[in-house]
Every structure is written in C-alpha cells, then in structure tokens.
Structure 1
Amino acid sequence: MEAMTKSIEIPDCYYPKEPTLVCPSSSTPRHTLYLSNLDDQKFLRFSIKYLYVFKRPIVVESLKASLSKALVEYYPLAGRLRSSEEDEEKLEVDCNGEGALLAEGYVDLTADEFLKGSAKPNRSWRKLLYRVEAQNFVGVPPLIIQVTHLRCGGMILCTAINHCLCDGIGTAQFLHAWAQINAKPNSDLMMITPFHDRHMLKPRIPLEISFSHPEFNGHPAHDPSFNLLTQILLSQPLAPVSLTFTPSHVLHLKKQCIPSLKCTSFEALASHVWRAWVKSLDLPASLRVKLLFSVNVRKKLKPELPRGYYGNGFVLGCAETSVNQLVTSNAHYGVKLVQEAKNCIDDSYIRSMIDLLEEKRMKPDLSASLVISSWSKLGLEDLDFGEGRPLHMGTLASEIYCLFLPVTGDLHAFNVLISVPQAVAERFEHYCLKGLDSREEKEDIEKVNGGRGYCLDVV
C-alpha cells in the first residue's frame, strides 16, 4: 500500500492567443436535444474534468482537425445548454454547431516535475483548464479543452465535458473516438457510433413511484448526530488523500469474504474505503450513514439502452447502516450491503426513480454519505492520439466525493482519491492501510480467483 503525500504548485500559464471555437467539419442536424431526468439532475450540473500528461506533443492543428471531425458525430457537444420553454428547471441542448472551446497555453514545467507531485491535485491545477466567464452553468460550452505545452516538449491535455450530456462511459466513448480520428485521420471507421436520443428514459404517464429511494431521503434537521457530522465536515479545510491499492491489496480484501461470499474488486474496495471513512470521522454510534455509488443501468433496462448511448445511463446505488454496525462488523457485512444495493436496481427501480425526479427535482442526500465514482474500468488511461498512451491520467481536482482512478500500466490496481477534513486525513489513511501491508502468498491469490491468477471484474 502506498500513501501519496506529494503535490505540486502549477505556475501561471501563458496564452499566446485567444481560445478558438472548434466547430463540426461538416453540417450537422439542427434541433433541440431532449435530456432525460437522469441527465439534467441538479447534482450533475458540473463538468467532468480529466487531465492527461503525454511524453510527446500532439500537433494542435491536428487536434483541432480531428476534434472537428469527431464533433460531426458528437454534434450535441458542439451545441449549447438552455432551459426548456415548458419548464425553466428542465435543461435541453440547442444543437446549433456553435463549437467546442479549445485553448492553447504554455507553462514552465516538465512532465517529470508534474509526475513527481501528481498524486494530490490542488487549486493551482485549475490553471491547466481555461476558465470561461459565464453568468451561470448553462452559459458554459459543454466541451472545453486546453492543450498546455511543457518545457520538456511534452504536453498536458485537460478536458471538461458537461455531465448533463455524458456520464463516465459516454465521456470515455467520445474521447476514444476523437483520439482514434487523430491517430488514423484517413480511417472513416469510428469505434462506436454514438446514440443521441434520450426518449427511452422519459417518465411514465401516469407517474409510478413504487420504491422508497433511500439515496434521496435526508436526515431529520433536529437530529443531533447529523448536526455533529455537518459541523465536522464544514468546520475545517479539506485535505486530499491519495492511496494506491495494488492487485494484492484488493485480493486481500476479497479474501476476507471467502468462502461464504464472492465479490468483485469494486465491492470489496468500496466497502473498505467506506468503513475507513466512517471510522476516521469518529461519528456517534447511532448515526445512519450511507454509501452512494454509480451503477451502470444500460443493460438493466428493458429494453436495454442501445450500444453507443453516451448520455447518463447510471443511477446511484445506496448502502445504508448505522455507524456502530459498520465499524464493529467484519468485512463481509459491508460488502453484503454494497451487493444488496446493486442487486435491487432493475428496470422497475430505475423507472420509479425517473418518475420521482419528474415529480420532485430532488438531489441525493449527501449529508452523511460517502459518494464513490469509479473511473477505473473505462479505458481512460489508454487514450492514444497517435503519440503513445499517457504517462498519467487523473482528475483536475480532488473533491469531497471519492474517485477510484485507473493506475497507468496496471489494469488491476486502483488509485483512491478523496478530500477529507484536514484533522482526520492521517486517521483515514491509517484505517485504509491497516492490515494491508503484509505480502500476499501465491496460494491466497489463486484461492480468491479460483486458481486463475489475476482476474478482471467490473462494477
């Protein structure tokens, strides 16, 4: 287990010219794109920000040309968000071909210098993504890109993709399409044809809310335990914590559930991190705590969402228990809660949630919740524009929600990044590391994977 302690301050970027709008290279449909209730949730009104470090530069004019071609297929990303005329709280996309914003900058930094301090993002990293001045979220282009040239000849590529248009799977799908076009400009074959329409996720008439949906149920305002947690989370600055879990660490966690319970790497790690988070905060034993995590529903719906669907095709799974039960029980208990939360999500549950969001524009209950978003099985670390895979793939910022990030060069490892109150950061690291520093024996690895060695499993 490795605890990442270093961060790096990014110098100011120099912009030799104003950013440009990159428009689709040929005509695209002009219409209004309906966004589903899973798309335009209030808690998704931000951009997913990815950061890539490349050893060799990619010619910016080539990137613009390939982006222009990619936007012919992904034309909504060249449009603009707006409020619906029928319901001002409902968002839609004006597919007007206005274009994605691309900025080009220079910074006095080398790739090696960045990599040495790349574990923990800080506020200075925001310099690597051009800031658009807008009155509100709706006024920001759905796709913003900055190419930053480094002193060593390498480059950093940052992308901000509006979450209301794409989820993690959708953003990865778009980025790989763009990279493929740049790497093979004479090839007309796109990896996956994007599916734009969102009407398959429209609410039912009449609405039918048949589940309680605990992910949206908050704590009573007068609950003293809840008020204490709020005070803990808001009373001090947040500190980023970055931990790398190797395949051996993950297998050790999975082994704790065998033979009575088989689980995926995500289930074992999510339960472990949740438990460490709760223990580090030293919360009242009776407080109810939640683990919220994204669950891909593309194949859970009836009919299934079409291949290439790049909109938001996920809902939040919700595991819930008391602090006392979580911290005093064995690993089996937390993993079982995660599995039960996943297994209850079927077509009926998803449709009920869509209907609930039609009736009430609700946000998930984040008051006593750890939120985990997994980026580790999306292939984001394999992005290749023709000059090789990135030296580093990560996020531009560390937030209070928890990210499971891919580890470049190790398909089965996870980098866990989260910001916690400064006073508990060391305790959180301690509880994550506890019991995971022993070397795994070969027979333990084989036992976990049924004698097959390392195995790849998904969320």
Structure 2
Amino acid sequence: MEEALGKGEGFVVKKLEPVMVPPASKTDDGFYFLSNLDCYQNLILTTIYCYKSDPKRSNSNACEVIKPALAEVLVHYYPFAGRIAENDSDGKLKIDCTGEGVPFVEAVADCELEVLGDTAKSSNFEMLGKLVHTYPRSKNILEIPLLTAQVTKFKCGGFVLGLAINHCMADGICAIEFVNSWAEITRGSPISVFPFLDRTIINSRQPLKIEFPHNEFYEIKDVPKNILPSTSKDDELIRKSFCFKEKMLTHLRTLAMEDGEVEKCSNFTVVAAHTWRVMTESLNMEADQQTKLVFAVDLRSKFDPPLPKGYFGNAIFHPCCLCNAGELTSKPLWFAVKLVQDAIKSVTEEYARSAIDNYEVKRVNPLATYTLFISSWTRLGFHDIDFGWGKPTQTTLANPGPNLCFVLPQNEENKDLNILMVMTASLMNSFSELI
C-alpha cells in the first residue's frame, strides 16, 4: 500500500495497487479512428467529484458497486479500455482496442472530507493530485492509459471519485455523458444516452478545402518569459479562484455596451474579454507584441444535420482572438468583447471543416501558443452525477496547465461566476492586483 502525503495538515492517502478493469463482455478489437479534433488534444485532464455520506448508505461498499459498473459501461465505451497508437504511414494517432482495461485504485484518507475545504478555490495542487491516479509527465503518452479511476474513502463516510481522462477521447460534454452512464449503471438505472462511436463523420475532406484564414493555428512570437513555469519557486504554477459577483457582471456588461458598439453580451463573453485584457496587462507586454485568446466552441449544433446525440469524441473547436497588446489594453472593453463575439460567430460548419482540413495539412496545434485559454464548464452538468449517494457536493479540476481559465459551475440559485486561474506565482501576483 502506497502512502501519499499532501501539503494539507494531516492529509494522508493510502492507496492500494491499481486493478485493471476490462469491459464486462467481449467488445470490438482492431483500431479505432480519431478525428483531427481529437488528435491535437492529446493531453490528460483530471477531475474530482466529492460525495458526502448518505444517512442510509456509507462509503463502505462504494468500490464494490462502482468498479463492476465501470466494467459494464466500458462495454459501450470500449475504446477507453484500449491504448493510443500511431499510424505507421503518417504518425497520426489512433486507438488500439486491446480491451486491456482501465486502472482502478482503491484508497483511504485518514481524515474527514471537510479537510479538503472548497476544492474549486484550493491552491493545493499536491493535495488534490493525491485524489487522482496519474502517471509521471516523463512517461510516454502512448504508454499511459486513456482513463484511470480512483475512489478515496474518508472517515466521515464520504468519498471522492478522481478521474484522469485523455482529452483525445472526449470533450467535456462527451466525458459527462460517459460518467453519467457509469453512474446510471451503478444505481441500477438504464443508460439514458448511448454513445455514437463513429468519429469519421467529421473526418477531413477529400480533396482538402482550406477556405478561410485560420488565426487559431498561428503561433505567436516573443512569448513573455514569465508566462511559463520554470525551476524558480517564484515561477512554479499556482491556482487561484476569483469570484465575479452578479453586481460586477452587470457592471462589466453595462461598460461593454455603453458606447453602442455592442448591443448585448453574455456573461461568458464579457468575462473572457475582461480576463484576457487583464492577463495581457499583467504580462507587461510591449505595445506591438501579439496577444492571443483561445476558447472552446461546441460544434454539435453547428453542423447540418447536427452531430448525432451521444457523439463520442471531441466536438469542440478552438477559435481565437488575435491583436496587438497595446490595442487591446488601450481601447475600451467593447473592443475585446466584439473580438470574442466575432470569433464565436465565425465558427460555422464550413469554417470548422476548413479548420479540420487545415490541421490535416499543417499539423499545427491551436493550443500550441496563447496568452490565455478560457473554457466554460457552467453547462456541462458536473454537479448532476449521482452514483447512488446523491449529487456531488463539489467538483473541480485537479491539475490544469499554465495560463488556463475555467469558468466553474455554481448551484442554480447563485448568479455569481467563479473562475479558476492557473499561472506562475510571479504572474499571479500582478494578475490578482489588476483583476
């Protein structure tokens, strides 16, 4: 049994060795196609779901019911049980459906669940990281399982489910549909949304047609030195949560619309624009340096006909806003808001297919360089996942990377918005003052 110590006082997690969970019955083998939208998102994303003890049900049998349900759901989502491989011809990624399974870890924390505090606002990467089974970053991504699961029981009777998912397998909507199906099986309910497994419906076209300029693939030069972590303690990655109160959101929207250049704007649009401006100013960029905002847009409804319900894979694209730092910070807020709105409007089916073809030719990752990446998780349904112990009391990311901003969900009554920011310590100091 491995002991994992977090920085939280008294926080000790004892882990059993991982047990491989294969699909409960035979599934398809061979190779599984990944689209270009999948291939450039080959990175591990970790999330945790916290569950309090139920008066009628402790955590004593949590693993005994969650683990076999995982084997059942993998029959439908069988590519998760395989491993990443590369095409011999062009090096593109695909999934080898080996059926070897998903590592499942049982763990025990020698404390109450409340020791974690508010996980969305926690700055303790190390403590949250102990709740998810991950592999060293030095390990070849081709050797890392596509999904791992860890259930950590706490003395109070609650538990935490920690998941590590390779993003090439699923975007947020698809990941939630998978976890919800797993939870439904655990509760003994029928699956409400079955996965649509054929990703070739968004394959690149033949012949390729690149019909638009695609700034999202443009790699900005002269990236500020303090934007990436280094070995210095001042430049280690830290996370911090900021709350936009409802009154503040109303004020920002009013500010953006007061010149008449913008007729209306959503909370996401104005928060993205405002945070990008603050980030650019925090970096002390030269006026002629380029600053780039990247964000996620769901493509499901952009296609005609829309992508099938339960589409299994990445159905998001990452448009960008690109301009000079001096122009962004000197002009009123409406300028940045309009850039965000125009970028969102630009994402049509024709534009998305042109971008997919563009990646086929150039293999440039739109997430390769950016000043800020922002993604909204407010409508994904993370708070609705019920394995039989009720809905999670809280859920968050465990290990996001640098210069990421996540708009996190609140309960339905709360109109405020929380954003989780991750950046170097030195940059966070100036950002915190300006935001």
TM-score (norm 2): 0.89
Structure 1 distance, partners of 2:28, 2:411, is 38
Structure 1 distance, partners of 2:213, 2:361, is 14
Structure 2 distance, partners of 1:289, 1:131, is 33
Alignment correspondent of 1:372:
374
- For residues 415-441 of structure 1, the C-alpha deviation after alignment (integer angstroms, 9 at most, x for no partner) is 211222322323312322xxxxxxxxx
Structure 1 distance, partners of 2:88, 2:10, is 43
Structure 2 distance, partners of 1:68, 1:247, is 43
Change (3 A) 1:233 1:95: closer
Alignment correspondent of 1:437:
none
| Residue 19 (structure 2) pairs with residue 20 (structure 1) | yes
Change (3 A) 1:19 1:280: same
Structure 2 distance, partners of 1:301, 1:153, is 46
Change (3 A) 1:373 1:9: farther
Identity of aligned residues (%): 34
Partner-residue secondary structure (3-state), 1:39: helix
Alignment correspondent of 2:81:
78
Alignment correspondent of 1:47:
44
Alignment correspondent of 2:3:
none
Q: How big is the shift at 1:47?
A: 1.8
The residue identity in structure 1 corresponding to 2:157 is G
The residue identity in structure 1 corresponding to 2:79 is P
Alignment correspondent of 1:439:
none
Partner-residue secondary structure (3-state), 1:244: strand
CA contact (8 A) 2:383 2:391 kept: yes
Structure 2 distance, partners of 1:310, 1:97, is 17
Q: How big is the shift at 1:74?
A: 1.2
CA contact (8 A) 1:55 1:153 kept: yes
Give the root-mean-square deviation of aligned CA atoms: 2.2
- For residues 69-116 of structure 1, the C-alpha deviation after alignment (integer angstroms, 9 at most, x for no partner) is 2112111112222112333x2111122322111100112232111115
1:89-108 counterparts in 2 under 5 A?
89-108=91-110
Q: How big is the shift at 1:409?
A: 5.6
Partner-residue secondary structure (3-state), 2:210: coil
Alignment correspondent of 1:159:
163
| Residue 90 (structure 2) pairs with residue 126 (structure 1) | no
Is 101-110 or 290-299 further displaced after alignment? 101-110
Change (3 A) 1:294 1:116: closer
1:33-432 counterparts in 2 under 5 A?
33-41=32-40, 44-56=41-53, 57=59, 59-87=62-90, 89-116=91-118, 119=121, 120-132=123-135, 135-183=139-187, 185=188, 187=189, 189-220=190-221, 226=222, 229-230=224-225, 233-234=228-229, 236-258=235-257, 260=260, 261-364=263-366, 366-400=368-402, 401-408=404-411, 410=413, 412-432=415-435
Gaps of 5+ in 1: 1-6, 221-225, 433-459
CA contact (8 A) 2:82 2:96 kept: yes
CA contact (8 A) 1:398 1:417 kept: no
Structure 2 distance, partners of 1:9, 1:407, is 27
Structure 2 distance, partners of 1:368, 1:167, is 20
Q: How big is the shift at 1:231?
A: 5.2
Q: How big is the shift at 1:142?
A: 1.1
TM-score (norm 1): 0.84
- For residues 306-343 of structure 1, the C-alpha deviation after alignment (integer angstroms, 9 at most, x for no partner) is 11112011111111222222212222111111000111
Q: How big is the shift at 1:301?
A: 2.1
The residue identity in structure 2 corresponding to 1:48 is L
CA contact (8 A) 1:10 1:127 kept: no
CA contact (8 A) 1:393 1:408 kept: no
Structure 2 distance, partners of 1:198, 1:157, is 28
Partner-residue secondary structure (3-state), 2:256: coil
- For residues 171-208 of structure 1, the C-alpha deviation after alignment (integer angstroms, 9 at most, x for no partner) is 1111111112212x1x3x31211111111111111211
Gaps of 5+ in 2: 1-6, 54-58
Q: How big is the shift at 1:160?
A: 0.8
CA contact (8 A) 2:227 2:423 kept: no
Change (3 A) 1:10 1:166: farther
The residue identity in structure 1 corresponding to 2:424 is P
Structure 1 distance, partners of 2:178, 2:322, is 34
Structure 2 distance, partners of 1:8, 1:284, is 40
Change (3 A) 1:25 1:248: farther
Partner-residue secondary structure (3-state), 2:375: strand
The residue identity in structure 2 corresponding to 1:179 is A
Partner-residue secondary structure (3-state), 1:147: strand
Structure 1 distance, partners of 2:76, 2:229, is 44
Partner-residue secondary structure (3-state), 1:256: helix
Change (3 A) 1:234 1:76: closer
